[in-house]
Chain A
Amino acid sequence: MLEAASLTKTYVTAQGPWRAVDDVSFRIEAGEFFTLLGPSGCGKTTTLRSIAGLETPDEGRIAIGGQAVFDARAGVNLPANRRDLGMVFQSYAVWPHMSVLRNVAFPLEVHGASRREAAEGARRALDLVGLGHLAERSATLLSGGQQQRVALARAIVRPVRLLLFDEPLSNLDAELRIQMRVELRDLQRRLSATSVYVTHDQEEAMALSDRIAVMRAGRIVEVGTPDQLYLRPRHPFTARFIGQAELVPADLLRRDGGGALLRTRLGDIACEWAGDVAPGPASLLVRPEHIELHPPGTDGPNTAHGRVLSVAFLGKLADHEVDVAGLRMRVQTMSTARRAPGTEVTLRFPPERCVALAPE
């Protein structure tokens, strides 16, 4: 449905040229919810705006539904208004001089619908986002969450080829953000609209996406489903950026099918997943909530001896800081199973939760 190939965009700044987007390529299937995730300045917004036609890449090609909308070599650059898109902006961009209804009806009107048809369509879209009762209100008299819904209704009021979202939830407060997340996901499923979403919030990306592209410094680090990226990332940056991660320097001794045996300061650790890491320097990834705490002296493979340094009580969960062979590791348990500081423990790293990664 969407294909981006070798997109590159360089900005000239006072400090010299800066590659905002550096050879970015990806494909998105019809109906898929695809997210560009990364810290600020990673190039995700520039990539999205290039798809929209609001930014012109220096190189590369973008095709929507098989039609090239941008091709640097062939000199193709379809303007934004002819790419048949819906887009939700971070600042909502709700036009303050129009009513809610006129805001939402605008895309229909500029596509030739009569004023009445456009109003009807706009009402249907407003009902979909639960704002039907505010249609006549001036757009300046809305709360942030309501403006967000207006922007959403405006994006989906026409059946478009592609929906684009530029950090749409980042200006909302936490509770509303989670609520909107659920609604957005429901709506996208119901419309089966192909969507590209940009965010720096990994939890939001996990909750919404079919697939996520993790970006850093203008490049895509890795693309995968939320499961893959969390449980079996290929790159240490992904491991650290999505969820909490304990990364331990290691030496990969030998590959063992899909897994590997790692030598670390914790001892020899077997991992069931090692991607394509070759023997030699590597790192061990294990999530704090996957490390098991056992009474001292519990021996077996993938175990190590440690001592609890401190505990933070988080309500449902407890965060332990544990000293293991001179390394400080975080271990998360249910708070009912928490250990007091000074307690001697044996840590177990379940092989099915251990991942071998390239060295950091």
Chain B
Amino acid sequence: MMRRLALLPLGLLLAYLAVVPLILLGLASLKPEGFLDDEGWTFDNWRAVYLGPQLWPMLGNTLVFALGSTAAALLLGTLLAWLVERTDLPGRGLVRVMIILPLATPPLLLAIAWVLLLSPRTGFFNFALMGALGLDRAPFDIFSMGGMVFVETMVLLPSVYLMLAPAFRNMDPNLEHAAFVSGASVWTVVTRIVLPLLRPAILAAAVFMLIVCLVVFDVPGTIGMPVRIFVVSSLVYIWAAESPTGLPLYGRIAALAVLFVVVLLALALVYQLLSLQGQRFATISGKGYRPRPMPLGRWRWAAFAGVWTYFFLATIAPLAVLLVTSLLPFQTRITWEVLDRLTLDHHLAFLGNPRLLTAVRNTAIIALVSASLVALLSLLVSWAVVRSRAPGRRIIDLLAFLPLGIPGVMIGVGLITVYLTFTWIPIYGTIWILVVAYVTTFLAYGTRTTNGVLVQLHRDIEEAASVAGAGYWTVLRRIVLPLALPAVIAVWVWVFAHAARELSTALMLHGRHNTVISTLMWNFWSGGDGPRAAAVGVWLMLALFLLVGLWQLLVRRQERA
């Protein structure tokens, strides 16, 4: 009985977070200016969007960008997961550690770094290659669809790896060996046994990556926008921040949002179904037999070189160029002469500037509160979903998952609509509207993780506590929480890192009182002040590396114990 009662407020809270902004967004699209208190109803916004000249190029760009990045990241990420988990690749342990680093790198910074490396006018690599090969023009132009796909692939690769590595690790190696002994070649084993077995996991990863690519702003905003290659999120940003009339075109954004929300929610449902299907193929064998990894033979060092090329491109080169840029006196090409004039000015300014310190404090509060709320809510939602038999539990699961498919810029606009309407909740323009946005967005990730853990937790464990006389909350506090703690901490760290680096929603909800580090970096960068953006970025990355590193230490110590 208690469990049913606990479901109701949870369900209402989730519905408020996920559904209300969508409904108001839909209604706002039918208002002339996109505000709910506008007079009258109209289809003008719909006509302007769907019959306008910007729609088709934008849809084409969005699709090419999303499909291209997803395909590339999936291919390389699957290969990396296979190399690390199933072969005798040299230095696999180090790869497992290194893969965490790009994960802690904000995509905005990676995009900025690659502009610094491959811009046709000032890119370091471009000039190095021109010098080395005697070319008279830059061989690469980062400001292109190819550049966007390249950087987004670097951004997504660690996520693909992290999603697929456990699938490779948990697959009973005897399934492969049985095929080998039957006389199958390596190629046949990979194509007829390994890949089909992993198909649900790979498809789920593909749909997840596709969703991420369709909503991402950082990379297309940094690389595509300056040369007017618009995808959906950057177009929405332009309509909101740089509309020709000077007023944000909220009505149009709302009308466009309807299409994307429908498509993305459909994808989110597909993802949900695929992940469920994946569990059917769970093939964890009982025998703790660690098999000989597959020998790569003469490909061994080629694979090693490939993996480290990736780390060089994804982490080492971007970090180096950001660090050097942050020490430049002003934005300029990196040459040997300039290296004599490096200065710590921007770093010192960062440490002394009250505006920067406010942004740091805001970011810290937002990340801390969002991470804690998401961790707590995820555990409660999962416990209700996994354990209760009430009919509403599937709806709750779905509500928690929905926001995954809503672009950050659109959640931003949705929340603007909500809190300009519900003015009795005075959080518009404050850091708390960002907290609401992040809790909504990141809850999907959190509940996926905690669901997985609670499903594995045998019901007997809790029932033994109930029989011993523990009540509802005591069972949660004394039994469920300690057992789920590693997962809850993982959720907390993930949300903290992502909230600290999130850009698109923050840009939409940006006001005078809620500047965060990511919007500050964006403003420096788009204002042409690269060194200052880099200086801020270096400190943000340092903080995130420290956080993730500490967490990994904790995890490793726990695994050993």
Contacts and interface: CB of A to CB of B under 8 A. Distances in A.
Interface string B359-395: 0000000000000000000000000000000000000
A87 interface: yes
A250 B181 CA distance: 49
B280 interface: yes
Residue among A85, A97, A110, A154 having the largest count of chain B Cβ atoms under 10 Å? A97
B174 A164 contact: no
B287 interface: yes
Nearest to A98: B196
B292 A54 contact: yes
B286 interface: yes
B286 A171 contact: yes
B182 interface: yes
Nearest to B284: A91
Given A96-B283, A97-B281, A87 B178 contact: yes
A354 B54 CA distance: 98
Nearest to A45: B289
A83 to B, nearest CB: 8
A84 interface: yes
Interface string B174-205: 11011111111100100011001101000000
B285 interface: yes
Interface in A52-75: 52-56
Given A56-B292, A79-B180, A140-B280, A93 B185 contact: no
A80 B180 contact: yes
A81 interface: yes
A110 B177 contact: no
A116 interface: no
- Interface-centre pick from B181, B188, B193 (highest chain A CB count, 10 A): B181
A90 interface: yes
A24 to B, nearest CB: 18
A241 interface: no
B287 A91 contact: yes
A82 interface: yes
B188 A95 contact: no
B172 interface: yes
Interface in B254-296: 280-281, 283, 285-287, 289, 291-292
B196 A97 contact: yes
B286 A91 contact: yes
B105 to A, nearest CB: 33
B196 A110 contact: no
A43 interface: no
A21 to B, nearest CB: 14
Interface in A79-121: 79-87, 89-91, 93, 95-98, 106-107, 110-111
A53 B285 CA distance: 21
B181 A110 contact: no
Given A55-B292, A91-B172, A97-B281, A81 B178 contact: no
Interface residues of A, number: 33
Given A91-B174, A93-B174, A53 B180 contact: yes
Given A91-B287, A93-B172, A54 B180 contact: yes
Given A95-B193, A96-B197, A54 B183 contact: no
B541 to A, nearest CB: 34
B199 A97 contact: yes
A154 B182 CA distance: 8
Given A91-B285, A95-B197, A171-B286, A52 B184 contact: no
Interface in B286-327: 286-287, 289, 291-292
A154 B180 CA distance: 13
Nearest to A80: B180
A105 to B, nearest CB: 10
Contacts of B192: 106
Nearest to B280: A140
A217 B452 CA distance: 41
Contact of A81 (B185, B286, B292): B185
Given A93-B174, A110-B188, A80 B181 contact: yes
A161 to B, nearest CB: 12
Contacts of B172: 91, 93
Interface string A145-159: 000000100100010
A110 B184 contact: yes
Nearest to A102: B192
Given A93-B175, A97-B281, A140-B280, A87 B286 contact: no
B217 to A, nearest CB: 38
A95 B188 CA distance: 14
A45 B184 CA distance: 22
Contacts of A52: 177, 181
B424 to A, nearest CB: 55
A90 B286 CA distance: 9
Question: What are the nearest 5 A-B pairs in CB distance?
Answer: A107-B182, A93-B174, A93-B178, A80-B180, A87-B181
Given A91-B172, A97-B199, A110-B183, 6 more contacts: A53-B181, A79-B180, A81-B179, A91-B174, A95-B175, A111-B183
27 contacts: A53-B180, A53-B181, A54-B177, A54-B291, A55-B292, A79-B180, A80-B180, A81-B180, A81-B185, A83-B181, A85-B181, A89-B174, A89-B178, A91-B172, A95-B178, A95-B179, A96-B197, A96-B280, A97-B197, A98-B196, A106-B184, A106-B192, A110-B182, A110-B185, A140-B280, A140-B281, A171-B286
Interface of B: 172, 174-175, 177-185, 188, 192-193, 196-197, 199, 280-281, 283, 285-287, 289, 291-292
Interface of A: 45, 52-56, 79-87, 89-91, 93, 95-98, 106-107, 110-111, 140, 151, 154, 158, 164, 171
